[in-house]
Chains A and B, each alone.
Chain A
Amino acid sequence: MSTLLAAPPGTIPAPTIEYTQLAPMMLVFGAAIVGVLVEAFAPRHLRSAVHVPLTLLSLAGAFALTILLAVDGTRNVAAMGAVAVDGPSLFIHGTILVLAFVSVLLFNERLQFVSQAASVPGSTEEEDSLEEGAVQTEVYPLALFAIGGMLLFSAANDLLAMFVGLEVMSLPLYLLCGLARRRRLLSQEAAVKYFLLGAFSSAFFLYGMALIYGFAGSVDLAKINDALGSASGRDTLLYVGAALLGVGLLFKIGAAPFQAWKPDVYQGAPTPITALMASGTLVAAFGAVLRVFWVALGNLDWDWRPVMWGVAILTMVVGAILAITQTDIKRMLAYSSIAHAGFLLTGVIATGGPAQNEEALSGILFYLVAYGFTTVGAFAVVTMVRDAGGEAGHLSRWAGLGKRSPLLAGVFAFFLLAFAGIPLTSGFFGKYAVFAAAVSGGATPLVIVGVVSSAIAAFFYVRVIVLMFFSDPAPDGPTVDVSSMGTAAVVAVAAAATVVLGVLPQPVLDLADAAAHSLFVR
């Protein structure tokens, strides 16, 4: 007994949390929690009026706090090494917050979201709720939780925080996918598919994390990197763990061969949610990919690079070729998103010395901003072209849109050209920055594949443009709904961003350079 009592109790130093450095994230999560309280206590007719300003103000506030942090110049790891506050993470946070803000402007619970998620489609219960004018305003807090998860996912400095961020981001998105007002069966099906495949992939991520922990004895990214150097005789754990971790992450960015969920989910989900996923989730997932492969597995690049080459080539080719066969506008944009993930992966592969890494990182950051704005704009246009039964998804319905509504069709054509990477659009400089980094990083064959698949994709974009401007509109064609100020504003902002980044990219390029300058903190 005496020996037991005499043993010194293990002292645990109290951890510290740098609240100011985590302020953007905490503001978003705090607003989400307040949103849940609003759902609980506010009367039904007031909820929407509280949610919209609350959501938008918290995102704007978080963006302002991110700017303050960036200006302040602190670069370290906060919350006992769980969250990195460095140039790339601040840049990515700013990007996510702006893209989330414009995506939330697209939210319109009376037009796009289900009146009562629990009612069976086609039932009298559903009719009652529609007549009653019920709305499912939970979409706002759910979106805020997802956005907070994106912030954590992209800035996590250890694998546990990254896993938690991944799940906090994904779980609300699974639900949001199933909440479309029209074509509810399609929407629910998208939710089931996204959920089952997403849970499957996060199980891979988790097992990879467990094996890496077994190898390194820690899940801290920097400590994993340190452990790479020491020959511990547990290399099998490392290689299998890295591969499983990669599967989980590549699933989230929608890289081939893990791209199958993307078209289904993008098509079935309510379009504002698709916009949020196509922009915010992609940016966040690339933040995480960079952190895992550059910070944790940076010294292992000779081993993962050949695999990444294959994945990048497959992703670009699959995305570009399958886009051609699509007849639904949202599916087509989904395949385009897959191809863009492939282009971005060429940047991830282009590692080398510090200067090379900076160039590649800066290119990726700029690409993410450029692509994010264009894709939100494109999905915003999709929400405006409506049939009696909701959005006109089928491409044949878009025929002659240029004659019916030249301005909107022109803007959409411009977005498509930006996806293709035509000069004077933001897409051109994005591709240029990433491909230039890839060439100087010795990945010229990849760039050739990238340029060829860009050309294949451009063929399809041009086909849509021809369809819109040079064929006759159907007599019962879709109408263009310009009633929503928010949506119109999003299209305008996205178009402006696409032009400005295409004509005067230098300020944002400089910003990306500055963010990439110090690389990742360790």
Chain B
Amino acid sequence: MTTHYLVLSALLFSIGAIGVLIRRNAIVVFMCVELMLNAANLALVAFARMHGNLDGQIIAFFVMVVAAAEVVVGLAIIVTIFRTRRSASVDDVNLLKY
């Protein structure tokens, strides 16, 4: 039973990770990161059910709060750079290189 949740969670995590690597819009990249966090939440809750203790569920709460804080900080940074450059494409973020 837990396996189903884990497979779904692993799929979500992989979709998120691939999205981070191939998408170009900073907002979409960031949404993919959030997808990875939610995949972890699903796994945590599934494991909590499997082990019969509540640790996993409590951890999921913490992850949600951390994710919300991350959204606020991340959007602030992305909006700042968008207002400067009128573009949120990560390909345009290219001033710093070797």
Interface residues in chain A, defined as those with a beta carbon under 8 Å from any beta carbon in chain B: 117-118, 120-121, 160, 163-164, 167, 171, 174-175, 178, 184-186, 188-193, 195-196, 199-200, 203-204, 206-207, 209-211, 213-214, 217-219, 263-264, 267-268, 322, 325-326
Contact = CB atoms under 8 A, between A and B. Distances in A.
Contacts of A264: 96-97
A121 B81 CA distance: 10
Contact of A185 (B17, B78, B84): B84
Given A160-B58, A185-B95, A203-B37, 11 more contacts: A185-B84, A186-B96, A188-B84, A192-B26, A195-B78, A196-B20, A200-B36, A206-B63, A213-B59, A217-B51, A263-B96
A429 to B, nearest CB: 33
Contacts of A263: 96, 98
A188 B81 contact: yes
A415 B84 CA distance: 37
A189 B95 contact: yes
Interface of B: 6, 9, 13, 16-17, 20, 26, 29-30, 33, 36-37, 39-41, 43-44, 46-47, 50-51, 53, 55-56, 58-59, 62-63, 66, 69-70, 73-74, 76-78, 80-81, 83-85, 90, 93, 95-98
Listed from nearest, the 8 A-B pairs whose CB atoms lie closest are A203-B36, A214-B47, A210-B43, A264-B96, A217-B51, A206-B40, A199-B33, A207-B40
Contacts of A174: 73-74, 77
A178 B77 contact: yes
A178 B33 contact: no
B98 A171 contact: no
B81 A192 contact: yes
Given A199-B30, A203-B37, A206-B40, A171 B73 contact: yes
B26 A163 contact: no
Contacts of B17: 200, 203
Contact of B77 (A184, A191, A204, A214): A191
A216 to B, nearest CB: 9
B77 A200 contact: no
Nearest to A203: B36
- Best-buried of B6, B81, B90 by chain A (most CB within 10 Å): B81
16 contacts: A163-B62, A174-B74, A178-B80, A186-B95, A186-B96, A189-B96, A192-B26, A192-B81, A196-B30, A196-B90, A199-B33, A207-B13, A207-B36, A207-B43, A210-B9, A217-B53
Contact of B44 (A190, A199, A210): A210
A195 B74 contact: yes
Say what secondary structure dominates the interface of chain A: helix
Contacts of A195: 73-74, 77-78
Given A178-B80, A192-B26, A325 B63 contact: no
Contacts of B39: 207
Contacts, number: 128
A321 to B, nearest CB: 12
A333 B92 CA distance: 26
Contacts of A268: 96
A33 to B, nearest CB: 15
Contacts of A185: 84-85, 95
B33 A196 contact: yes
A211 B40 CA distance: 9
Given A178-B77, A185-B95, A206-B63, A199 B51 contact: no
Contact of A210 (B47, B73, B95): B47
A175 B33 CA distance: 18
Contacts of A325: 98
Nearest to B93: A189
Contacts of B83: 120
A267 B33 contact: no
A138 to B, nearest CB: 12
A326 B98 CA distance: 7
Contact of B80 (A160, A164, A188, A203): A188
B74 A213 contact: no
A323 to B, nearest CB: 12
B55 A213 contact: yes
A206 B81 CA distance: 27
A186 B85 CA distance: 12
Given A160-B59, A190-B96, A210 B30 contact: no
Given A120-B84, A199-B30, A206-B63, A167 B69 contact: yes
B40 A193 contact: no
A270 B83 CA distance: 20
Contact of A203 (B40, B58, B81, B98): B40
B63 to A, nearest CB: 6
Contact of B96 (A121, A193, A203): A193
B16 A203 contact: yes
Nearest to A191: B77
A449 B69 CA distance: 42
